[in-house]
Structure 1
């Protein structure tokens, strides 16, 4: 399969900046994440979002799995497992990820990508287990339900406007692009592409800055544009700008359409040109009131991760070096929570205007992801992680079925794959797959139109190995 890595990788030149303190950073992250587990009483039904400004602990009312932030803590544990190889982090990442399975069916907003791709998606990329694969695909199917072809976008929320689309939604397109690629589902790719094009037209300003929210009429005409989480309608919310840097770069990875690379560059240039000396932006670049002009470590962490990938497509050293400078600042005492009672890894994030100086699970997540990307770019060694055996043929679902069903299979060696349907007399009635496949897990949609009801066999063969299961077709 393609694009199973975290991002498009290449090796930077030796004259680029170094991030030299990451071992100490990982020790700190390990300590704070363990303290969080204790704070949560090791209950995997609780998913941190942000800390209380006074107590430093995670706010209880925002620990639910339905929150947009619920996938970040599980994702952070998967990153710690990738970075350290410590089975402790795998054990707990599995538990917190499994608790989110129901969110793959949550159609209430666009945040399925944040909840499912950050948890199940990262779990699959690291372990390639079938369970994670299937749940990630279900998340993609759920997200696709919120798409309106008349508007050309996925609806973000239900509680404001008529058809609001937010800049954050770019991030959730990765779930659709990735899922479309691994199963060959053009519909999901087309939905993600259409949304990306709509956002490119309406969220990105001529100077490279971005709007937070664009609301549409039912026919796709713009009602209004605003920046709710920033200072005002025409302001530049730093986290939204970071979503654009990261999002348009990721979209280019899947589409290779130059207009998205140009959008990523424009967003990045605005972000970088307006950074202060410590490379961590205020929550809104245009906030005029000093009393609420709080820093946003989350915007810095998101942008750093996006800039590392943008470097791989452009060879622009400024992108790489800016990301390293950001990591350096975030790793300093000014932003790390060393020797404090704050439960997060990083401090000084801002949720929205007037709600600054907090720790957030998403700042921590993208900070760890930035370290992963930095290490991958610089050819650092990662611990060897044992993966489960990949040769497996799942029971079709649903079964029994009427007309259509889904079959998943996994292979641990590349080779010529044959997946065919047989009747009980052993006669082949249909070939579903007859092609070369790389190592991985795959989904096949089987339409039984033209076949009579009854019991059938389906058989997977690759490189001399075979597996057979029964399926029941009912009318």
Structure 2
């Protein structure tokens, strides 16, 4: 980790400078909404066409159907664009693209990604419109996600099917699942059963106990004995190695435990959110944008992952509002602002290269998939982080 000292020096330099000099959230939000307009002009108006990624050197989106785990991010971006502009065009488009995902609420769960899909789309839609039809879909989907919970283990099954290395039919849980707990917490206090809260709490608690190494870096996946609940092993599926810190996996932990504290008020989750954040921040490159895996031996020639940076920036902005220690709160806020400043530079913004927001995300490097690419979830968390920063700059609460 030869970059650690340089990164820390840069962060300390940044912390001493006024936030207003670093990034204008409103200006970057305007950039995002203009990019969204570009995509809306070129997106096919037939079939089930939801943007997912754009490979380097191209301006053409790869489109996916509603069952793809990324299907909720584009509708979510449209809802955030509506929130930023109050444009009726964005409102109509957000409603239309969300509607394509409605069948997920009426089907059996085929993986854990229902939170990514439904809460990012219909969840944002309900937050902004209070449409009761949206609420019904969210509640129905939460019940569907809950069917994957194994009480013998205490976590939600991530992949209810055979995936390489997961020792099926044993119980597997991936760190990504932390993001889907928000759907269950929300449903439990908006008309759903209390058991949804209990499931989410149990999942977070068991994951906290079994999914992390002594330095608080996360395994991507943990396999449990489905009958006894005993941990069999921790491993990776998308990271460099079983013992490496996959950047986006750590970002899911940072964001997920911050949400768990917000939803439960449990001090252990707040403390843990800080621990998983601190190990990530200590190993960052100077620009605040991680390589796809912190332990890839090819660094500095390894690909970056802007998506992980966007997730962490959004999570740290919220975490900074919960931490009572003023110096540490400011550390998280300034670190998030550094990440957003880098993401908003010509090095990372797509600008005229394509109609996404960001370049240089890494999806599944071991599989050779979406490497150094514009990916829709990077854009989703980037615009979310900018909206959060704008609220904080105006002295507003995030929730």
Asked whether the two chains share a fold, i.e. TM above 0.5, the reply is yes
Where does residue 275 of structure 1 map in the other structure?
284
Q: Partner residue of 2:245? A: 236
Determine if contact 2:363/2:371 at 8 Å carries over to the other structure. yes
Q: Which has the higher contact order (CA 8 A, sep 6+)?
A: 2
Q: Provide the residue aligned with 2:179 in structure 1.
A: 171
2:303 matched residue in structure 1: 294
Given that 2:29 and 2:387 are in contact with CA atoms closer than 8 Å, whether structure 1 keeps it comes out as no
Q: Deviations over 1:269-319 (max 9, x none)?
A: 011111111111101011102486101000000000100111011041000
Structure 1 residue 186, shift from structure 2 partner: 1.2
Query: Deviation of residue 88 (structure 1)?
Result: 1.1
Post-superposition Cα deviations, 1:301-345, rounded to whole Å, max 9, x if no partner, equal 0000100111011041000011111111100000001121x2311
| Pair 1:23–1:259, CA change in 2 (3 A) | closer
Q: CA offsets per residue over residues 35-70 of structure 1, 9 Å max, x none?
A: 22233223472111221234242224xx11101100
User: In 2, distance between residues paired with 1:263 and 1:306?
Assistant: 13
Deviation at 1:27, TM superposition (A): 3.0
- Equivalents in 2 of 1:72, 1:56: separation in Å? 19
Which structure has more helix as a fraction of its residues?
A: 2
Q: Kindly indicate whether the alpha-carbon contact (under 8 Å) linking 1:44 and 1:96 is maintained by their aligned counterparts in 2.
A: no
Number of paired residues? 367
**Aligned-residue offset at 1:379:** 2.4
Deviations 1:224-256 (A, max 9, x none): 211221110000010010111100010011111
1:344 counterpart = 2:349 = no
Q: Structure 1 residue 155: deviation in Å?
A: 0.4
In structure 1, what is the Cα distance between the partners aligned to 2:23 and 2:300?
Answer: 34
Give unpaired runs (5+ residues) of structure 1.
Answer: 1-13, 383-475
Determine the structure 2 residue equivalent to 1:147.
149
Distance 1:226 1:292, change over 3 A: farther
State the distance in 1 between where 2:301 and 2:191 align.
47
Contact 1:16 1:321 in 2 (8 A): no
Does the 8 A contact of 2:80 with 2:383 survive in 1?
yes
C-alpha distance in structure 1 between counterparts of 2:137 and 2:125, whole Å: 11
In the alignment, is residue 332 of structure 1 matched against residue 333 of structure 2? no
Deviation by residue 1:418-438 (Cα, 9 ceiling, x = unmatched): xxxxxxxxxxxxxxxxxxxxx
Question: After TM superposition, what 4+ stretches of structure 1 lie above 6 angstroms from structure 2?
Answer: none
Q: Deviations along 1:127-149, whole A, 9 cap, x unmatched? A: 11101111111111110011010
Are residues 44 and 80 of structure 1, via their aligned partners in 2, closer, same or farther at CA, if it must alter by over 3 Å? farther
The equivalent of 1:429 in structure 2 is none
Equivalence for 1:255:
264
Partner of 2:133: 131
SS at match of 2:158: coil
- Give the distance between the partners of 1:130 and 1:123, measured in 2 at CA: 10
Structure 2 Cα separation of the partners of residues 378 and 259 of structure 1: 29
**What is the CA–CA distance in structure 1 between the aligned matches of 2:335 and 2:355, rounded to whole Å?**
27
- Identify which of 90, 112, 124 aligns with 1:122: 124
- Pick one of 294, 300, 304 that aligns with 2:313: 304
Higher strand share: 1
CA distance in 2, matches of 1:105, 1:153: 22
Matched, 1:227 2:236: yes
Contact map agreement 2:220 2:246 (CA 8 A) in 1: yes
Of the three residues 89, 110, 114, the one matched with 2:112 is 110
Partners in 2 of 1:24 and 1:43 — Cα distance? 33
Provide the rounded CA distance (Å) in 1 between the counterparts of 2:33 and 2:267: 40
| Aligned-CA RMSD value | 2.0
